[in-house]
Homo-oligomer: A and B are copies of this chain.
């Protein structure tokens, strides 16, 4: 059992927890037998939910009743102390008892607690929340998606470097194109911080990525830009707006497809194509985001530069 990947799970964070979290673990366990779950939260509730669906060889519960609430400010969340399910889960990575930590809870608190427990990669000031986003040609990396509401040009430069590294680790044979999310493609568009970042990235040559200038929201899914860089406020609004638009369209589509008898018959004929289509867009397949920029131990020379 020592070869199992150890995932620390904050069972008490997120909507409808711990139910949804434990359901997720049970589902994941069905698909992957190489994972050991260290589950942090209310032992009784968790045991009832697991209900013997996972063998004891694959999980342990670390009991705690303290939780970070979704309404806590980041600092309030951290101040709830070292016995919250979130803190204990993050801390287990620090103590090398887990390889990864997963939480669906308060993002701001997770950021603060992670920064208090773990170290930053050298020369990186803030970790960024990053995720994969589908486009016409494949996937792109988008960051920051909400960890840092206000960002300096140095932060945006860091995000470019980290995003490119993440992309390259996923697609080793490609040199990624990095774009800055903005409201126009001309150099003069945007606020001062974005223009400053443009200058820095444009003057810098990197062996690891190409800087492609600005990218507007309507081109996010064209697939020409592999790494999309933004402050956390704008990135979060963009991500959620895309999600809302996708839900709206698929809802309207269903109405249109079943609006008449012919529609209903042809929908039946078309069901396999539509399922393929839905799979391609399903936000559940891409919805997880990772904090990039944190590391367990400090290192003399960062490999990101």
Contact = CB atoms under 8 A, between A and B. Distances in A.
A263 B259 contact: no
Contacts of A280: 252, 256
A45 interface: no
A57 interface: no
A136 B272 CA distance: 26
Contacts of A216: 237, 240
A249 interface: yes
A251 interface: yes
Most buried by B among A70, A236, A250: A236
A183 B146 contact: yes
A277 B267 CA distance: 14
Contacts of A270: 257, 262-263, 266-267, 270
Interface string A226-252: 000000111011111111111111111
A210 B245 CA distance: 25
A288 interface: no
Contacts of A263: 270, 273
A138 to B, nearest CB: 13
Main secondary structure of the interface of A (DSSP, over half): helix
Contacts of A243: 217-218
B217 A237 contact: yes
Contact of A244 (B149, B219, B244, B257): B219
- State the copy count for this chain: 2
Interface residues of A, number: 62
A281 B150 contact: no
A116 interface: no
Interface stretch (A26-34, A184-192, A198-206, A293-301): A184-192
Interface in A259-289: 259-260, 262-263, 265-267, 269-270, 272-274, 276-277, 280-281
Nearest to A69: B186
A220 interface: yes
A73 interface: yes
Nearest to A256: B277
Interface string A123-136: 00000000000111
Interface of A: 70-71, 73, 134-136, 146, 149-150, 181, 183, 186, 188, 190-191, 216-222, 232-234, 236-253, 255-257, 259-260, 262-263, 265-267, 269-270, 272-274, 276-277, 280-281
Given A218-B243, A237-B238, 11 more contacts: A149-B191, A183-B232, A217-B243, A221-B245, A242-B244, A242-B245, A245-B249, A256-B273, A256-B274, A257-B270, A259-B273
In the A-B complex, the 5 residue pairs with the smallest Cβ-Cβ separation, listed nearest first, are: A217-B240, A217-B241, A256-B277, A266-B266, A266-B269
27 contacts: A73-B188, A134-B248, A191-B233, A217-B237, A217-B241, A217-B244, A218-B241, A221-B247, A221-B248, A222-B244, A237-B238, A237-B241, A238-B238, A238-B241, A249-B250, A249-B281, A252-B277, A253-B253, A256-B273, A256-B274, A256-B276, A257-B270, A259-B273, A260-B272, A262-B269, A266-B267, A270-B270
